[in-house]
Structure formats: structure tokens, C-alpha cells
Structure 1
Amino acid sequence: MYSLRHRLLISASFILLVFLGLMSVALSRAFEQSVISNAQDALRNQILLLIGNLEFEGGRVVMPTPLPEPRLSQAESSLFADIRDVDGEVLWQSRSLLGETLPVPSSQLGDFRFRRDLRWPSHPRLYQMTLGISWETAQGDIPLVVRVAEHAGIYQQRIDEYRQQLMLWLLVLGLALLGLLLGLFVWALKPLGRVIRQVGMIETGKRRRFDEDYPEEVNRLTQNLNQLLQHEEQRIEQQKEVLGNLAHSLKTPIAILSGLNYSRQNNAEVERQLNSMRTIIDYQLQSASAVGRTRFAKPLAVFDVSQDIMSSVQKLYVDKALMLEFSMPESMQFHGDKGDWMELLGNLADNACKWARQRVSVRIDTISSADHTRSQIQMVIEDDGPGIAPDLRDTILQRGVRLDSQTPGHGLGMHIVKGIVQAYGGELEIGDSRWGGAQISVRLP
């Protein structure tokens, strides 16, 4: 996906390319018309110069020597002229023609006619001007046709040189404008770059709020984001407070009910119902306390709290004399709630120690995601217990399901783990360990 700067630069480049292309065509045509107009004026002046020096004696056209235009007398010249009568008979021609004849276009008396597409065997292209005149003599008026032609290559070369210079300067102008536009985009988008940097700082916990001294359009965005961050923090704190109050208010009545004496007939039922109430309350509190992944969660250093959890679990199962292996980078950070981390690691470690015979391994590390665009936290918990059959691996994640009713617990641990992993958009897999027991793998963003 293109960045906003790239999109603007590509759009501006396209517009600039179209604009400079149209400008190139317009200027090139304007210059070409100017060159052709100059050619017409030059040929018209040559005709007038010839008429000014023309004399008619004895039915013959006489021109002075040398001619006013030296090129008409040169053999390798690019300028040609002749004078004919109305029947097309050549009465005079310049020495530059070397006996050849020019193409004969139509002409009318007193009418200058210009042709730019005439072909001639000796010359690929000619510009030609023709004028019909009536010459007065003692014997009467004699109609004549005066023609002057010139190589178009001289003018075409001038046009080509202009086009080359035009393209060069337009290219330089286009690159200069692109540079200016790029600088303008960098300057105009600088506030957005600042927002991006502050997003990264908030994600890493170096900041808690966005600045609000941006341009008006961006400032509205940062103000709304600050309000959102504040609302999210207040919501989480309020949720924790409500859950704490609920837990505190329920513990006392349940404790009172547990201390009352009941008849032998209903004592077992009352105890079962009280245990069920404790289980439901514990589950609901644990599930509701899972904050889940928030975009701008402050990163937590979880090495010390993880060590405390593992130490507590090892003390809890000290009678089993388990070989408990624990490895984790000291710099590990978790972008989430501390309570979620404690519930996740505590339940998984407790579950492994509960079923293990001699060995439990807990490995926590950072790995790359499948698309290598971000890092993930991976927990791998293994034990050498009986393991979990493949057909029961989905069942065990359901609420209240226990594989062995003789093992202490309420069957909520794995279901709570599943809820926390889902809340953070992570992945949970159950497989076989190296020692034949169960292996639980958790990956969190």
C-alpha cells in the first residue's frame, strides 16, 4: 500500500506530466507557425524584389546581373525562382535551378499563394510562394507568374532545434517542480509524521497523550484520540473497581452461609450449591477481569512477576518434588494488563504441575509473526503427565470440563486461558510434549 506522500507525489507527477506535455505541444506548434510565417514573409519579399528588378524587352524577361539575392545565382543554393507566362513557358529562371523546373501550382492575378508540401525530385520538400501579375508593355499587358521556392530543411532544422531545447528545458522545469512539490509535501505532511512518532511512543509507554499544538485539521484528530485514550483508561479502572466491589460484597454472604448449621438431610445439598456459587463467581470474575488487548496499552516488564508466579506454583506442589524448568528473557514486555498475564501464566503453570509426574517446562520467548511484520510472545508449557487425547483437546477448553474428577479444581482454568488468548487476538494450541505429556502453546501479539 502506498503512503500518503507517495500517492500525492504520483498524482502530482501525473498532472505535471500532462500539463508539461500539453505545454510542449502548444509551444512547439506556436513556434512552428511562427517559422512558417517567417518563411512566407521571406518568400514574399523575394518575389517583390524580383518584380522590382524585372524588365521586359522584345518578348523576353531581362533580369540584372548580378541579382539582388546572391543565392539565386549559386549552383548549390537552397533558393530558387522562375518566371513563366500563362501557358507555362519558362521566360526566366535562376541559375540555382541548374536547368530543372519547379512544380507548377495554380495561381491567380494579384494573389500570393503559399505551398508548404510541394515535392521535387531533387529536393524532398519545398516551401513555395507564387504570384500572378500583369506586366504592362507597349504591345499591351502580359500576364506572368513569378515563383520563388526554398528548401524546407532550413526551417525544419530550426524547428527541430527549438523542440530539442524545449524538451530539455521542460524536463529541467519538470524535475525542479517535482523537487519543489516533494519538499512541499514533506513540509505539509510533517505534522502527520509527528503523529506517527507519538503513536509509537504511546504504544511503547513513553507517552500517555498526544500533543495538541498541531494544525487545525490534525489537531481535531489528536484531541479525539486523547479523549479516546482517557475514556479507555477510565473504563478499565471503573471495570476493575466494580469487579473488586462485587467480589468483596459476595464473599461475606457466602462465608456466612457456609458457617451456618444445616440439617443432615440438606447439608450435602447446601454445600454443593455453595461450591457451585463459588465456582460461578470465580469464573465470572476471572472472565470479566480479562481486559484484553488495547491498541495503546502501556508495555509491562513481566519477568519479575513471572518468576513470582512460578515460585508460588512450585511451593504449591512442593510435595510432588517436581523438576520445574523456567526460561524467559529479562527484557520481555507485555502490551496488556498485568492481571491478564498473571491469570494466563498462573493457570497454565498450575495445570501443568497438577498433571505432571516429575517434570514441567515453561519457556517464554519472542518470535516473529508468520508475515514477519511484527513480533509475538510465545509460551510453551510442557509436562510429563498422561497428556490429552486429540479428541478431547477441544472439549477441555469448554467451561467446567475436567478430565479427572479426582483431581482438585473446578474445570475453569483452561477456559479462562482460552478467553484471555481470544481477548488478545492470540492463538492457543494443544499438542504432545517431548516427554509424552501435554504441551500447551500460546502466541500473543
Structure 2
Amino acid sequence: MTRLSLHARLLLIAAISGIAALAFASVTIGGVLERFVMQGLDERLDAEVGMLARAITPDGRLDPARVADLPGFDTPGSGWGWRVRSVAGSWQRGAPIADAPPRGGPPLAGPPALPPAAGIAPGDGRGPDGRRIHLRRLVVPIGGGSAEIVAGAPRALVERPLLAARGTLAIALALLGAGLAAATWVQLRLGLRPIRALQGAVARVRAGSDAALPLDQPRELVPLAEEINALIAQNAAGLANARHHVANLAHGLKTPLATLALRLERDGASAEARALVAELDGRIAHHLRRARSAAPSAGERARSALGEVAADVADALRHIHAERQIVVEVTVADGATVAVERQDLEEMLGNLVDNACRHASRTVEIAAVAAERAWQVAVLDDGPGLVPDARAKALQPGVRIDERGEGYGFGLAIVAELAELYGGALTLDEAPRGGLAARLTLPKAG
């Protein structure tokens, strides 16, 4: 099941809450506008109702001399009107007013039974054309009963400005919603930027560009970065420990096994015995390769400075072969890095340069040339070199081309195995000076 991203989740929550807030604002502001518009209309109607209340005599009659139509009521056909009813009679002016019938009952017929005075109350009615009328109703006590005063105005006087105001309000809220959406998007982009930066930092650690994650993170991400750095350190320690044991196992098994193979060959042992030793050697080499390739981050976070390692190896081999005065030259560009663990790079270059120093006449050269995705490292000597058939045999484990020197014939084979582990290769051909050229292909870092 696909889970929503953090960006999508936050955007969805912001959208839902924004829509809810805008809907609440629309209802609230619409209610405020309606009360505001209705208040002005009610004040005009209440003024007319108050004037009519003062015009009613104690016996329930309407004194015409005290009646004056306020603005709105004095315009014929405007829809404004009033009505006074009491036990003494009924009077009205302007638009006829018909009370809305009670819910579930017949229309009113004749003067209703009036309740006691309770202040001016709102109401709804209908005009002669069936249009809605907003009413204000007052019941006043008189001698022997009560009188009802009703003043009305067209409901359209309220609905038209409300409709116009709500249209403007809808446009304003839509623009506000668009602004909030844009602000939310910008906020999410800026707010989630540290997470994207942390992702890039993890990628650089994995590629070997950085050793650990930077801790200059937002406060919420600092614990995560610290935990990841602790995991990286733990994995590095585990890798170093595993490689140490692999190296010990390699030295502890391969050297005695190589010695056994040579003794069996010198003592003229049977072919079956020698084949059994060879099979055992192959199985050990196979499982050692698997152990090394299964180590975390092999070839992924590995990053070694080629020039620095080459210079260290050259300096060490100059001292080892000082009595022969071998000149070891290093020609490697600054900044050349390979995706190889330093220990493995030292082992590969050490075997190749030591082999070259033992067979060189005067000079050994370490040179590196950049290819598209790899570095071509060449170790050249000016010694006697090897014929093509001997070059192929020299890469086989336990095969010694020169029986006069020390060793068991595993140096070049180990270099070839390590190079293949990192996706590279080792080839042997003739050097420009006539000696042997060991060409090592190693992937670029990053």
C-alpha cells in the first residue's frame, strides 16, 4: 500500500483546515452582514411602529392627526405599509399586509386573539403580489383589551444588498483561499527543505564524499542526524573488524596452504593430493571473496586518495629496496580518488610495486590516467618483462614464474581478486621501456 508523502499529508491537512476555516468565515461574516443590514431596516420600521403606538387613543381608535408616514411609507408602490387592529377597528396604509398562516393551520380570518404586550417582535408576511415582507409587530394594551401594530417593508430590501455583499465576500474568500494555498505551498517547500538537505547529506555519505552527517540541522532533526552518524560509525567499526578477521584468516590459511602445495610438488606427491590442495585453496579464496563483498559499504562509501596512497607505497618500497637503489616515480594527478577502501588499495599497489621493484633494473613508475568512470593505474618497470604466455600464468594463484625469489605466487592473483571485487580489473602487458606493465583499472569515487 502506497503511503502519502509528508508533503502530500501536510498539504492535505492544510487544505481541509483551510476549507473548513473559509466555510466558517463565510457563514459567520454572512450572518454579521445580515444582522447589520436587518438592523437598519428594523430601526426604520420600529420608528413607524412607535409613532403609530402614540397615535392610538385609550379606547383603541387611531387618531389621524397623530399619524405621519416616515420616509419609505410615504412612497406609493414602494412595498412599505402599516396596519393597526384593535377591538375598535382596523386601519392600514401603503402595501397591504397579510400575516403568514400558522404552521399546520388555516389562514388567519379576522382580528386575532392578541397576547399581552411583550415589546416589538419580528415577523414575516406576504404582500398582494405574494412577495415576502419583513414585519415588525407590537401589541399595546388599551382600555378593555389590546391593539396590534404591524409595519412591513419588502424583504428584497434586505436580500439585494446581502446578495451583492455575499458575491463580493465569495470573491474575497476565494482570493484569500488562493493566497493561503500559495502560502502553504511555500511554507511546505521551505519547511521540508532541511529534510531534502539531509537526504542529500546521506547520499554524500553513501557515495564516500562525506564521512558523517552535519549536525547543523534544525532542532527536530538533530537527534535523527546523531542516530544516523552513530549507525555509520557502528557499521564502519563492524566493517573494520570483519576486514581484520578476513585478513587474519587469509594470512592464516593461504600461506600454510601455499607452502603445502609447494612441498607436495617438490616431493613428487600424487596428482590427486595436489588437486585436493588446489580445490581447498579455491574454496578458501571463494569464501574470502564472498566475505569481503558482503561487508557493508564495500565499493559504495569507499573513497581513497590515489596519489596519497601511491606516494606512501612508493616511499615504503624505496626503503625496502634501498640496497638496489631503485628509483620509484609517482605521476598521479591531484584530486584523483578511487572507490576503493584504503587498505585494499594499499595492498594492491604494494603487491604490484614490490613485484616491479624486485624485477626492475633501475626505475619503477606509478602513473594514473583518468578514463570516463575509472582510473587507469599503471605500474611500469624496466626489467626483463614477461612473454605473453607467462603473463597469463602469472595471474593464476600459486604459480611462480621466477623460482629464484621469495614468495608463493599469490601476489598478482590477490590483486586481480581485489580489483574484480570493486568492479575493476588487472591486466599485464609490455612496458614502453621493455619491462612489465601492470595496468590496474579502478572505479572513480562518487
Q: How does the TM-score come out when normalised to structure 2?
A: 0.58
Distance in 1 of aligned mates of 2:177 and 2:264? 94
Q: Secondary structure at 2:220's aligned position in 1?
A: helix
Q: 1:263 to 1:169 in 2, by over 3 A?
A: closer
Q: What residue identity is the alignment partner of 1:118? A: G
Distance in 2 of aligned mates of 1:39 and 1:155? 8
Q: What residue identity is the alignment partner of 2:127? A: W
Distance in 2 of aligned mates of 1:93 and 1:318? 126
Residues 44-443 of structure 1: matches in 2 within 5 Å? 44-54=46-56, 61-64=62-65, 67-86=68-87, 90=90, 92-94=91-93, 96-97=94-95, 100=96, 102-103=98-99, 106=112, 107-112=114-119, 114-135=121-142, 144-260=147-263, 267-291=270-294, 294=297, 296=301, 298=303, 300=339, 303-304=374-375, 315=388, 342-343=420-421
Q: Is the 8 A contact 1:43 1:149 kept in 2?
A: yes
Q: What residue identity is the alignment partner of 1:219? A: V
In the alignment, which of 10, 23, 31 is matched to residue 29 of structure 1?
Answer: 31
Distance in 2 of aligned mates of 1:216 and 1:262? 68
Q: What residue identity is the alignment partner of 1:126? A: I
Listed one character per residue, the Cα deviations across residues 295-322 of structure 1 (whole Å, up to 9, x for unaligned) are 64557475445999xxxxx956999xxx
Q: 1:51 to 1:284 in 2, by over 3 A?
A: closer
Q: What residue identity is the alignment partner of 1:72? A: F
Q: Is the 8 A contact 2:26 2:169 kept in 1?
A: yes
TM-superposed deviation, 1:80: 0.3
Q: Is the 8 A contact 2:123 2:137 kept in 1?
A: no
Listed one character per residue, the Cα deviations across residues 270-311 of structure 1 (whole Å, up to 9, x for unaligned) are 324322322222222222222467364557475445999xxx
Match of 2:347 in 1: none
TM-superposed deviation, 1:126: 0.9
Q: Is the 8 A contact 1:209 1:226 kept in 2?
A: yes
Q: What residue identity is the alignment partner of 2:78? A: S
Listed one character per residue, the Cα deviations across residues 64-116 of structure 1 (whole Å, up to 9, x for unaligned) are 498241432321223101223348x53x321x23xx45337643343446454
TM-superposed deviation, 1:14: 1.2
Q: Secondary structure at 1:217's aligned position in 2?
A: coil
- Percent identical across equivalent pairs? 19
Q: What residue identity is the alignment partner of 2:420? A: M
Listed one character per residue, the Cα deviations across residues 309-354 of structure 1 (whole Å, up to 9, x for unaligned) are xxxxx956999xxxxxxxxxxxxxxxxxx966615868999xxxxx
TM-superposed deviation, 1:248: 2.2
What value does the CA root-mean-square deviation take over the aligned residues? 4.5
Q: 1:50 to 1:291 in 2, by over 3 A?
A: same
Q: How does the TM-score come out when normalised to structure 1?
A: 0.58
Aligned residue-pair number: 323
Q: What residue identity is the alignment partner of 1:50? A: L
Q: 1:256 to 1:144 in 2, by over 3 A?
A: closer
Distance in 2 of aligned mates of 1:203 and 1:45? 83
Q: What residue identity is the alignment partner of 1:69? A: L
TM-superposed deviation, 1:179: 4.2
